[in-house]
Amino acid sequence: MNRQVLLRNAVTAVPVEADFEVVDAPMPQAGAGQVLIRTLLLSLDPYMGSAIKSRHMSAGVKPGDLMPGEALGVVTESRHPDFAEGDIVTSRAGWQAYSVADAPTPLLTGMAAALSPAATKLAPDGRVPLSAYLGVLGMPGLTAYGGTVDLLSPRPGETLVVSAATGPVGSTVGQIARNMGARVVGIAGSDEKCAYAVDRLGFAACVNYKNAAWPDALADACPDGVDCYFDNVGGGILQGVMGRLAMHARIVLCGAMEQYNSPTVLPGPNLGPIVGKRATIKGLVVYDFWDRMPHWRRIATDWIASGRLTFKEDRVEGLDAAPALFARLMSGRNFGKALVAVAPDQA
Ligand SMILES: NC(=O)c1ccc[n+]([C@@H]2O[C@H](COP(=O)([O-])OP(=O)(O)OC[C@H]3O[C@@H](n4cnc5c(N)ncnc54)[C@H](OP(=O)(O)O)[C@@H]3O)[C@@H](O)[C@H]2O)c1
């Protein structure tokens, strides 16, 4: 039998474990040109919180639907000449133990390739664990790479601020910017996360926004203002950072954690400082960078191996534990890339 996690009911607030249902289902069958995949690792990502409210570009999830998501797995049966039993692949398998996928269509690029129902064969580099291909070497890492290198382009000596600073996106943003010579200041939701950002990620400072005086702490940490802001949260944190912009600041809007759990879209910040500081705001969609994944993986793998890039995982074992970890992720209580080891004996 297959095992799946379905959305049980409509969700209007922070998702809780009871919003999901774990069921047995018939084993999927690989058709001609397809492969059967056993999931080893499942990635849990904040966009799924928007998807279950039908507010995300990748998917809308209705009660009774299989939860969507990226997974890393092993091919257990191949009916396509390019794949063999034992190949390690990534695919949009969803929250289930077994899935079928097509072979990639070469003409698809960018968002169409990212969201296609195809399996991508990996050539794992032995210097990094397999799980990295769902985090720092996967969609979150590519988001950080595209947003930092292409959209913000921090120059040596500039101050770059990043929120959700210890997550897979934020921690990678900060380390790329640090490796480019910028001075990096994180914003995170606990003293423990801030200590990690400074001690392990090499950030110059990190501000805990759960302290009421955090805007003053940000001002102290950024005496010359904020040249680049990578925004993963929106709302009050975006507003606070805008109060510290330097002249000609650049802002990338990547995520809006503060509003994902809200039943309605929250009122936005005052954009006045964008005008006063001649700042630039850019929107980021990771799928625009999809074709550069191999390039990013080469750079990041070398950095991981030489100690210039590190990452942290928040991991649970077994598909049945996925709903509880997702509830933790969406309420900000995760610390590191949220991952489910669906087959813990193998990955
Ligand atoms: N634009 C794109 O193409 C793209 C692609 C990938 C990801 N993203 C976005 O990037 C952001 C980071 O993703 P990630 O995978 O690296 O996630 P993550 O950092 O592992 O988890 C999200 C973090 O957001 C923080 N947070 C701040 N305010 C929150 C609130 N009100 N409720 C819940 N959490 C809150 C929490 O950290 P603290 O405790 O430190 O605040 C939480 O751990 C997300 O907004 C995601 O949607 C965008």
pLDDT, tens digit (0-9, with 9 covering 90-100), for 299-341: 999 999 999 999 999 999 999 999 999 999 999 999 999 999 9
Strand 226-231 to strand 313-317: parallel, antiparallel, or no bridges (unpaired)? Answer: unpaired
The CATH 3.40.50.720 portion of the chain extends over: 139-287
The predicted pLDDT at position 64 comes to 98
User: What is the fold of 139-287?
Assistant: Rossmann fold (3.40.50)
Q: How far is the CA of 136 from the centre of ligand 1 (A)?
A: 14
Query: What is the position in ligand 1's atom list of the atom closest to the CA of 285?
Result: 3
Query: What is the position in ligand 1's atom list of the atom closest to the CA of 283?
Result: 1
Q: How far is the CA of 232 from the centre of ligand 1 (A)?
A: 5
Tell me, what DSSP letter sits at residue 291? G
Whole-prediction pTM: 0.95
Angle, alpha carbons 310-68-107 (nearest 5°): 85
Name the residue of 136, 139, 232, 262 whose CB sits within 8 Å of the most ligand 1 atoms, as the mutation to test its pocket: 232
The CATH 3.90.180.10 portion of the chain extends over: 2-135+312-341
Nearest to 249 by CA among 233, 217, 226, 267: 226
Residue identifier of the C-alpha nearest atom 13 of ligand 1? 169
Q: How far is the CA of 263 from the centre of ligand 1 (A)?
A: 18
Q: Could you say which architecture CATH assigns to the domain 2-135+312-341?
A: Alpha-Beta Complex (3.90)
Helices in 180-292 by DSSP H: which ranges? Answer: 191-199, 214-221, 235-242, 257-260, 272-276
Strand 159-163 to strand 183-188: parallel, antiparallel, or no bridges (unpaired)? Answer: parallel
Higher per-residue pLDDT: 230 or 106: 230
